Structure 1
Amino acid sequence: MSASALADVVPAADVSEVLRQAVFDEWEQWHEPWRQLLSGERFRRLSHSSADEHLRWVYERLRLVGEALGDPLELVGDPVRLACLHEWLAFVDPTLAAVATIHYNLFLGALQGPDGTWTRNVGDFTSVEQVGTFLLTEVAHGNDVAAMETTAVYDRDTDTFVLRTPSVGAQKFMPNTSPVGGAKTGLVGARLIVGGIDRGVFLFLVPLTDAAGVLPRIGTSRLPARLGSPLDHSLTWFDGVRVGREAMLSGAHGRIDDHGVFSSDVPERRNRMMRSIARVPVGRVCVSAGTVGAARAGLVMAVRYGRNRHIAGLTESARLPVFALRSHHGPLIEAIATVYAMNMFYREAARRLGDRGGPGAAEAEMFVSAAKAWITWRGREVGAQVRERCGAQALLVNNGIVDQLMAVEGAITAEGDNQAIMAQVAAGLLMRHRPEVFVPTSRGRTLGDAEWLHELLAAAERIWLERAREARGAAPAQALARRNAAMGPALRAAQVYAHRQAAQTLNSAVAGLPEGEGRELLGRVHLLFAVRGLEAHGGDLLRHGLLTGEQIDEVPMLVERLVAELAPQADVLVGAFSVPEEFFAGMPLAAADYLGAYDDAGGPWHRQV
């Protein structure tokens, strides 16, 4: 059935509802409360506010979220529910999403014990009377936090820890530790020194500010303004700050008993650190969720604007919406397909967080990390298309698109820089790679075969891993030389791995729909996304007999055909994202009469001549 026939036979609302079920699936119960709360007038951003006024607004809204939650124990303990919140927060206000991630995931999440209960009294934090923040990275230590310099020396005589910042490079970098927003307490990553012995990195609960300002023996200074969502990023140092033994977040990975003796069930210091920062993978899923939610809303705006913006047609007297042009709608249709894949990839990553403690822990960790990096990189690309398709008006702050562009740049760095994360994924893929003999399989297969497309992506991944293995073997014997020789092709393999996982999760969503027009439409979306992933690998697949020359020629024309079929369904496809109308308040680009924002009651067009 053609796309036009599909639109004639099935009401758009019915198809969009089927797709909406695919987008949100069984998590709908966790989404609706946030949609309703964040649609309220209290969450509409202040116009023309200063950076500090906006920050105060953000912390006040964090408290409104806290009021809606009551006891956030279930939210903090369930990564899926926490991620669902971020899908909506990120578009409402990226700064608010960042603060919520820090407070609820990194801070409160770390205070939750293995049995799901709080490890200490957290009343002030659950009510957000005290804002929680997280101080891990340092000026000189980002992705290599295992080498951090901040120390927490245990003083047995007083049963306290003494925190110090020993160098300029050891200052904590970019936590939200200014007095703006009220009293704050931080979880501070520091090297535990007991009896002169370095026991590894642990977290310590340290009050930072109160109503009067920064507490004694602590220094904070605001970093230069950051484009986009302006959080109160600061440098923070400690000059002999004392906290009690109970301030250390202890557990099986390390504790100090009543006699001042340190013990641990985890012998390696690096593994102790990983136990301490176990909430980082959850944060990666939250960052992915926010990126997906913002990309969905941005595409709703872009499609609307494309329908409402009219230009000269093919004849002098004709007018047509700019969306009617292939040059305009083509990039948006491909972006829509990408966002559907991002959505399903993120959802599966959230599910797999629960596998990190079981036999599939390494695979789950790789999957979650690849999802975060790939999703946020694609979020940047989608945001750029939204910005371009909306023209100069998209550069105006009141339309929100610029904030989203800057927010995704932050997401690319947050919870581990993407390139560093993907380097770890690449190393993991290479470690488990075994050379395989390729058997030509193109005979009798077509590009409309979803499973075959996934097999082709897997083959491209193996080709790059084999190149990495060969390059490593040919390199000089030094460890760095061997790593560097292999890393380029291994990173290419990691990118194909991520695209393949995204395609497979999208195809699973297609398979989960009932037979009918909605499933057929989402199947086309999957086909466009999967085929696009093959284009860069046509030569390799041809050389290995996995594609024929005719099939390689067919790929670009198949893409064009799919774009043409999906373009009439753009409103249905983005309608399934269920973005509340209230989210677009004050954004002229999203209005049917976007010209109204520029009207002047005194303009000559209001006077008859």
Structure 2
Amino acid sequence: MNAKANVMTAVHGAEALRAVLFGPEEGELHAPWRTLLSAPAFRHDHGMSGEEHLEWVYSRVRLLNEAIEDPLALVRDPVRLACLHEWLAFVDPTLSGVSTIHYNLFLGSLTAQAACDRDLRPYVDMRQLGTFLLTEVAHGHDAAALETTAVYDRATDSFTLNTPNAGAQKFLANTSAVGGPKTGLVGARLLVEGQDQGIFLFLVPLTDGRGALPGVRVRRLPARLGSAHDHCLTSFDRVQVPREAMLGGAHGRITGDGVFASEVPERRRRFMTSIDRIMTGRICLIAGTVGAARAGLTMAVRYGRNRHITGLTESSRLAVFDLRSHHGPLVEAIATVYAMNMLYREAARRWSERDRSDQTALGQAARFVSVAKAWITWQSRGVGAQVRERCGAQGLLVNNGIVQHLMVTEGVITAEGDNQAIMVQAATELLLAHRPAAAAVRARGRGLADADFMGELLAAAEGIWLDRAQAARRAAPAEALARRNHAMGPALRAVDVYGHRIAAGALADAVAAMPAGPDRELLEDLLRLFALRGVAAHSGDLLCRGFLTGEQVEELPVLMEGLLARLAGQAEVLVEAFAVPEEFFEGIPIASANYIAAYDDPEGPWHRAEPVAP
């Protein structure tokens, strides 16, 4: 009777936590994607060659498109589009990447800018697959310095695209002939009568399914570990496109009489308007990262329960998960993924509800999304490493899928804005806005179990590092680069604490919205563990500044150890709430209760009718 009651409690707990993770619209935003991607057509053979896998990806992206009732409505809804990526990334990271490029960067940009009279049917039904060519060999995060040119000729009312040097070749776009005809949005510098008007996007047919079109040169780049993506170098030699190929609007356009007109005087703002979908792309990337982390942790906890080793005596056996050295890092990873999940949800909400008319609010929303992207994907790298290590040699095998996701995470860390560059920009903004203030939080009379106190301590740690950055800048030589370099080290530490703080805040908001009871207490324990980890990393500074007492610093590891012990017993409930469909794990040995069966040999001697004599 007691065992049955415990099971029922676990199911209830998982359902309550699932509601927190996915929100009240789970049935509308998540269930359709889970159902669709659970179909056998989306399971692939890990033994396929790279080219076979790539062909599989392009056939499946069209299968996905057939199932989407209205692709244009999807790209106009960044939250729903991101939800697709939560489930798609674990099914196949390359499929997720191709989908992000086509739906978000390509179709999203086409629908967002002045293209109302453009026929989008070839792209909506994927007779033409869309790709996006912005980054160049010599220009990544400094894309505003792109060198590809689009020269407007009033006599022919057309643009001519050229690649002037090796550094201006478009880098990493999926422009090969594999996957059928492709059209790209090409970021190029608009030149009108010799005047540089800034970077705009141009709609350019690239391939016809057999090879590149005249004037377009495509060369495959070396294979990238963990991805079958057809990354290429692409260049243009006097490629002519009509005036309608330019994606223009209030930020810039060529009028009917061949004159450039813009309501935005700054070229950089024109550029940022042109690539507005990059921010939604960041949300899609972190959605996929969170989804893959949830699935990876689900596998790791299962494997830890199913893998048995010699116990404390030679005659005993125990699950490897029972060891604190094994389950401790996984429980910490679970707490991190819950915080990642809630931060991602908050970032998606803020961006979808942003006020486009308020430049200050828009900038704050962009910074929040950008820091969330960098912080979440960096945390995902750590979570993936723990999953891989806790699965031992099994975690290195391709058919278990873990190493592929580790390598894909490395790519995501760089994609849609390199993490380090994003954090440098955010650190600069935080530093410029920082004003040293008298301490608003003191340790006496405050308990480390108080979530509000933990948030205040993280804010204090952030302020300490910003104070140091300002002091370093003032002490540096009076030269711009030296002042920047001296301040950036501590400023980057501050923005990392900021990321941890806003993630803890998003998780705290989720806890506060739950009704009182065991489920809320479980989530509160996760929040405490996550917040305490952040505080512990800066406990020395907090102690020196009087934000913590010596007794509280001594108490930190004791509290964290107690939380690990309690949460380890609930690990299966916590990952069950991730709601990863069983179909996703088909063909993955470590996800099975009897993983040894995947390695069984029908011809092995243990299958003989007569046992071998000892």
- 3-state SS, counterpart of residue 127 of structure 2: coil
Cα distance change, pair 22–118 in 1 and its aligned pair in 2 (3 A): farther
What is the match of residue 49 of structure 1?
48
Q: Which of 248, 252, 261 is the matching residue for 1:250?
A: 248
What is the match of residue 196 of structure 2?
198
Aligned AA (2:249)? G
Whether 2:302 is the aligned partner of 1:300: answer: no
Cα distance change, pair 329–6 in 1 and its aligned pair in 2 (3 A): farther
Pairwise CA distance, 1:539: 1.3
Aligned AA (2:328)? G
Pairwise CA distance, 1:439: 4.7
Do the aligned residues in 2 keep the contact of 1:87 with 1:291 (CA within 8 Å)?
A: yes
Describe how 1:286-325 pairs up with structure 2 within 5 A: 286-325=284-323
Do the aligned residues in 1 keep the contact of 2:454 with 2:532 (CA within 8 Å)?
A: yes
Whether 2:73 is the aligned partner of 1:74: answer: yes
Residues 268-307 of structure 1: CA deviation (Å, up to 9, x unaligned): 1011000000000100010000000000000000000000
What is the match of residue 13 of structure 2?
15
Pairwise CA distance, 1:557: 1.0
Aligned AA (2:515)? P
What is the match of residue 409 of structure 1?
410
Cα distance change, pair 538–58 in 1 and its aligned pair in 2 (3 A): same
What is the match of residue 540 of structure 2?
539
Cα distance change, pair 47–34 in 1 and its aligned pair in 2 (3 A): same
- Where does the alignment leave 5 or more consecutive residues of structure 1 unmatched? none
Aligned AA (2:86)? E
Describe how 1:158-557 pairs up with structure 2 within 5 A: 158-353=156-351, 354-355=353-354, 357-359=356-358, 360-439=361-440, 441-557=442-558
What is the match of residue 92 of structure 1?
91
Q: Distance in 2 between matches of 1:546 and 1:207?
A: 60
Aligned AA (1:90)? A
Pairwise CA distance, 1:233: 0.2
Cα distance change, pair 601–202 in 1 and its aligned pair in 2 (3 A): same
Do the aligned residues in 2 keep the contact of 1:400 with 1:587 (CA within 8 Å)?
A: yes
Q: Distance in 1 between matches of 2:186 and 2:121?
A: 20
Question: What root-mean-square deviation, in Å, do the aligned CA atoms of Structure 1 and Structure 2 show?
Answer: 1.5
- 3-state SS, counterpart of residue 173 of structure 2: strand
Do the aligned residues in 2 keep the contact of 1:7 with 1:569 (CA within 8 Å)?
A: no
- 3-state SS, counterpart of residue 188 of structure 1: strand
TM-score by length of 1: 0.98
Q: Distance in 1 between matches of 2:7 and 2:387?
A: 30
Cα distance change, pair 319–9 in 1 and its aligned pair in 2 (3 A): closer
Q: Distance in 2 between matches of 1:48 and 1:477?
A: 60
Q: Distance in 2 between matches of 1:365 and 1:119?
A: 30
- 3-state SS, counterpart of residue 172 of structure 2: strand
Q: Distance in 2 between matches of 1:563 and 1:6?
A: 25
What is the match of residue 607 of structure 2?
606
Do the aligned residues in 2 keep the contact of 1:90 with 1:97 (CA within 8 Å)?
A: yes
- Where does the alignment leave 5 or more consecutive residues of structure 2 unmatched? none
Do the aligned residues in 2 keep the contact of 1:439 with 1:545 (CA within 8 Å)?
A: no
Aligned AA (1:489)? P
- 3-state SS, counterpart of residue 187 of structure 2: strand
Pairwise CA distance, 1:70: 3.0
Pairwise CA distance, 1:5: 12
Do the aligned residues in 1 keep the contact of 2:37 with 2:91 (CA within 8 Å)?
A: yes
Do the aligned residues in 2 keep the contact of 1:10 with 1:517 (CA within 8 Å)?
A: no
Do the aligned residues in 1 keep the contact of 2:396 with 2:402 (CA within 8 Å)?
A: yes
Q: Distance in 1 between matches of 2:477 and 2:598?
A: 64
Q: Distance in 1 between matches of 2:56 and 2:119?
A: 27
Residues 398-432 of structure 1: CA deviation (Å, up to 9, x unaligned): 11111111110011001000000000110110011
Do the aligned residues in 1 keep the contact of 2:179 with 2:209 (CA within 8 Å)?
A: no
Do the aligned residues in 2 keep the contact of 1:387 with 1:394 (CA within 8 Å)?
A: yes
Cα distance change, pair 10–531 in 1 and its aligned pair in 2 (3 A): farther
Cα distance change, pair 46–439 in 1 and its aligned pair in 2 (3 A): closer
Pairwise CA distance, 1:362: 1.8
Q: Distance in 1 between matches of 2:96 and 2:341?
A: 18
Q: Distance in 1 between matches of 2:284 and 2:501?
A: 21
Residues 453-505 of structure 1: CA deviation (Å, up to 9, x unaligned): 00000000001001111111111111111111111100000000000000000
Q: Distance in 2 between matches of 1:100 and 1:130?
A: 13
Compare 597-606 and 146-155 and name the one that shifted more.
Answer: 597-606
Pairwise CA distance, 1:126: 1.1
Do the aligned residues in 2 keep the contact of 1:223 with 1:235 (CA within 8 Å)?
A: yes
Pairwise CA distance, 1:114: 6.1
Residues 305-358 of structure 1: CA deviation (Å, up to 9, x unaligned): 000000000011100000000000000000000000000000000011131525
Moved over 4 A (4+): 4-10
Q: Distance in 2 between matches of 1:477 and 1:287?
A: 40
Pairwise CA distance, 1:6: 13
Q: Distance in 2 between matches of 1:199 and 1:516?
A: 60
What is the match of residue 135 of structure 1?
133
- 3-state SS, counterpart of residue 531 of structure 1: helix
Q: Distance in 2 between matches of 1:14 and 1:571?
A: 13
Q: Distance in 1 between matches of 2:592 and 2:436?
A: 56
Q: Distance in 1 between matches of 2:423 and 2:4?
A: 40
Aligned AA (1:26)? P
Do the aligned residues in 2 keep the contact of 1:70 with 1:127 (CA within 8 Å)?
A: no
Pairwise CA distance, 1:71: 2.2
Aligned AA (1:479)? A
Compare 86-95 and 4-13 and name the one that shifted more.
Answer: 4-13
Do the aligned residues in 2 keep the contact of 1:62 with 1:128 (CA within 8 Å)?
A: no
Q: Distance in 2 between matches of 1:408 and 1:52?
A: 21
- 3-state SS, counterpart of residue 601 of structure 2: coil
- 3-state SS, counterpart of residue 152 of structure 1: strand
What is the match of residue 58 of structure 1?
57
Q: Distance in 2 between matches of 1:556 and 1:328?
A: 18
Q: Distance in 1 between matches of 2:355 and 2:562?
A: 41
Do the aligned residues in 2 keep the contact of 1:113 with 1:119 (CA within 8 Å)?
A: no
Residues 487-545 of structure 1: CA deviation (Å, up to 9, x unaligned): 11000000000000000000111111122111110110000000000112111111111
Aligned AA (2:474)? G
Do the aligned residues in 2 keep the contact of 1:184 with 1:209 (CA within 8 Å)?
A: yes
Q: Distance in 2 between matches of 1:376 and 1:516?
A: 32
Cα distance change, pair 403–111 in 1 and its aligned pair in 2 (3 A): same
Task: Tell me the number of residue pairs that the alignment of Structure 1 and Structure 2 aligns.
Answer: 605
Pairwise CA distance, 1:10: 6.0
Pairwise CA distance, 1:230: 1.7
Q: Which of 116, 122, 125 is the matching residue for 2:123?
A: 125
Q: Distance in 2 between matches of 1:550 and 1:113?
A: 56
